[in-house]
Amino acid sequence: MPWIFGPAFPGHPKTVEMRELKNLDVESRAKAFKARADAFFIKQVDHLQSPSLWVPFPLAVMTCIGIEMVGSYKFGDAPNDRNDHFKKTVEDIDVGFSTEQLTPKGDKKKLSCFIYQGFRNSLAHGYYGQWVFITHDEKKARTFRYSAARNLVVLNVYWFYGQFKKTYNRYFSDLLAGTDSKHDPLKTFNETLEKKFELWLR
Residue 124 has pLDDT above 80, yes or no: no
115 part of a folded domain = yes
pTM for this model (two decimals): 0.93
Q: What is the pLDDT confidence band of residue 89, given thresholds at 50, 70 and 90?
A: very high
198 part of a folded domain = no
Look at the chain and report how many structural domains it folds into: 1
Rounded Cα distance, 143 and 19, in Å:
43
> How does pLDDT run across 15-72, given as a tens digit for each residue?
999 999 999 999 999 999 999 999 999 999 999 998 788 899 899 999 999 999 999 9
User: What is the pLDDT at residue 181?
Assistant: 96
Nearest-10 crossing angle of helices 84-93, 56-75: 110
Q: Where are the alpha helices (DSSP H) in 94-156?
A: 111-115, 121-126
Q: Are strands 132-135 and 144-147 parallel, antiparallel or unpaired?
A: unpaired
163 part of a folded domain = yes
Alpha carbon distance, N-terminus to C-terminus of the chain: 20
Amino acid residing at 199? L
Instruction: Please answer whether residues 28 and 175 qualify as being in contact, where contact means their C-beta atoms are separated by less than 8 angstroms.
Output: no
36 part of a folded domain = no
User: What is the pLDDT at residue 82?
Assistant: 74
Tell me how far CA of residue 78 lies from CA of 50, 85, 130, in angstroms: 36, 7, 25
Query: Residue 97: which domain range?
Result: 88-173
132 part of a folded domain = yes
108 part of a folded domain = yes
User: What is the pLDDT at residue 122?
Assistant: 81
Rounded Cα distance, 101 and 146, in Å:
8
